[in-house]
């Protein structure tokens, strides 16, 4: 976004994830052991009531929307009073699937009890745009309200597009991020039958023994704000979105382009957008799903862009699982937390780096670092590629 207009500050963010509710607990989870022995990881004993006026309101929101509103509450609380014209405050949100739990439950209701017993709230609860719409209504945001649904790249695409709206002068602030809660019995069967899930129930990105991902869930929400306006109101600036890239492999519905050619082009687009060179990047926050083909292609792409073992690379999916459309948002939060704590969290679950991959993977233990610009990657089924570059506040 360099040369495209306004700088874009991050002034608040919130996280809801299986490894921790709230960004502080999330950070502790990222430093903990990886997940193992399961097809999916979920938020245990979830209580939506603190985020709704009544239990009735909570019941009328699918869990994916509940997660989004919970993360938004933390983000808005940290950002403080913005005093932004509501017409210039947008909501650009992401999901891969939307309210799948509600849909699956109501299909079963229809089959067992008949169509008259299907909930009248089925449609507003299952629709993919429900989370973004709920955030917009909760906070009175009347600017652009759009939902991006590009599979596992959606969260990164949402952040990049939200930043552009500010850089271009269309918005003064945007609530952005992503949410997902899609580990239903049917979806897990589908992912399992296409051999995308780990047969061992262990997420081990870039490991020689990796055999698929573990399904995750959760949400992360960010408040992006025009940098000069944030400075003028005395806001604490947590980071800056410098640039983003988006393109398509145009190769295969699930497999990445051979050699990671699409990912290479996407990262180069993000660097160009940010006005940076590869040597400026201090960290690659990888998509790193623990699948054989995708990890290999991403590692090849990182080597092609940055050189062999030239930049630290990490993946959080050994802890979080793969949260599909929320992955990019959860991983952008990882970057901000890495800035704050001056630590790169280890790639949990990974013990033996695939010897064919020429990357500097942080695993085994967290690594101290001097925070600098970080590129966060996400690549989705359908050939969607997304990269966003986030830098510490300056």
**Integer angstrom CA distances of residue 372 from 27, 155, 281:** 19, 22, 7
Catalytic residue among 101, 157, 287, 384: 287
21: part of which helix (H) or strand (E)?
strand 20-21
* Residue entry with tokens 């609380």: 77
The whole-angstrom separation of Cα 4 and Cα 12 is: 23
Q: Which residues partner with 177 through β-bridges?
A: 93, 221
- Cβ atoms of 55 and 47 closer than 8 Å: no
Distance between alpha carbon 287 and the CA centroid of its chain, in Å? 10
**Exactly one of 6, 101, 157, 322 is catalytic; which is it?**
322
CA angle 127–131–132, rounded 5-degree value: 110
> Would strands 20-21 and 8-17 be described as parallel, antiparallel, or unpaired?
antiparallel
Residue 113, class by beta-carbon neighbours within 10 Å (0-12 exposed, 13-18 middle, 19+ buried)? exposed
Whether residue 266 lies in the annotated active site: no
**CA 67 remoteness from chain centre:** 13
Residue among 324, 171, 343, 136 at smallest CA distance from 241: 171
Task: Give the span between the Cα atoms of 327 and 66, in whole angstroms.
Answer: 17
Q: How far apart are CA 290 and CA 350, in angstroms?
A: 9
Residues 6+ apart with CB under 8 A from 382: 150, 151, 248, 253
User: Is there a catalytic annotation at residue 152?
Assistant: yes
Q: Is 251 a catalytic residue?
A: no
Three-state SS for 156?
Answer: helix
Q: Given 152, 171, 181, 266, which residue is catalytic?
A: 152
Distance in angstroms (rounded) separating the CA atoms of residues 112 and 115: 9
Give the side-chain half-sphere CA count within 13 A for 156.
34
Residue 252 is encoded by which pair of tokens? 């295969």
The residues assigned a catalytic role are 152, 287, 322
């Amino acid at each position: 976004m360099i040369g495209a207009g306004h700088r874009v500050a991050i002034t608040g963010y919130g996280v809801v994830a299986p490894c921790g509710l709230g960004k502080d607990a999330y950070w502790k989870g990222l430093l903990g052991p990886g997940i193992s022995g399961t097809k999916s990881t979920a938020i245990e004993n979830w209580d939506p009531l603190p985020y709704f006026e009544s239990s009735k309101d909570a019941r009328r929101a699918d869990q994916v929307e509940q997660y989004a509103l919970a993360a938004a509450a933390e983000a808005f609380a940290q950002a403080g009073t913005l005093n932004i014209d509501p017409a210039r405050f947008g909501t650009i949100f992401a999901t891969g699937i939307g309210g799948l739990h509600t849909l699956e439950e109501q299909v079963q209701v229809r089959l067992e009890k008949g169509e008259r017993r299907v909930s009248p709230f089925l449609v507003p609860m299952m629709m993919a745009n429900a989370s973004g719409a709920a955030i917009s209504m909760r906070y009175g945001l009347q600017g652009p309200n759009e939902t991006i649904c590009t599979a596992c790249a959606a969260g990164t695409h949402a952040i990049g597009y939200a930043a552009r709206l500010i850089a271009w002068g269309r918005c003064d602030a945007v609530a952005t991020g992503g949410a997902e809660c899609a580990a239903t019995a049917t979806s897990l069967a589908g992912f399992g039958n296409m051999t995308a899930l780990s047969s061992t129930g262990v997420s081990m990105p870039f490991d020689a023994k990796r055999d698929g991902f573990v399904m995750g869930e959760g949400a992360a929400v960010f408040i992006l704000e025009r940098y000069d306006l944030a400075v003028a109101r005395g806001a604490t600036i947590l980071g800056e979105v410098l640039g983003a890239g988006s393109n398509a492999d145009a190769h295969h519905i699930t497999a990445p382009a051979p050699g990671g050619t699409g990912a290479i082009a996407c990262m180069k687009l993000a660097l160009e957008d940010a006005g940076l060179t590869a040597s400026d990047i201090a960290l690659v926050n990888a998509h790193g799903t623990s699948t054989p083909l995708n990890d290999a292609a991403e590692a090849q792409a990182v080597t092609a862009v940055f050189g062999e073992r030239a930049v630290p690379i990490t993946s959080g999916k050994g802890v979080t699982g793969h949260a599909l459309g929320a992955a990019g948002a959860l991983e952008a939060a990882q970057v901000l937390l890495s800035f704050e704590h001056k630590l790169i969290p280890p790639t949990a679950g990974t013990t033996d780096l695939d010897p064919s991959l020429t990357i500097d993977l942080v695993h085994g233990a967290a690594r101290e670092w001097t925070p600098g610009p970080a590129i966060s990657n996400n690549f989705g089924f359908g050939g969607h590629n997304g990269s966003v570059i986030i830098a510490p506040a300056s």
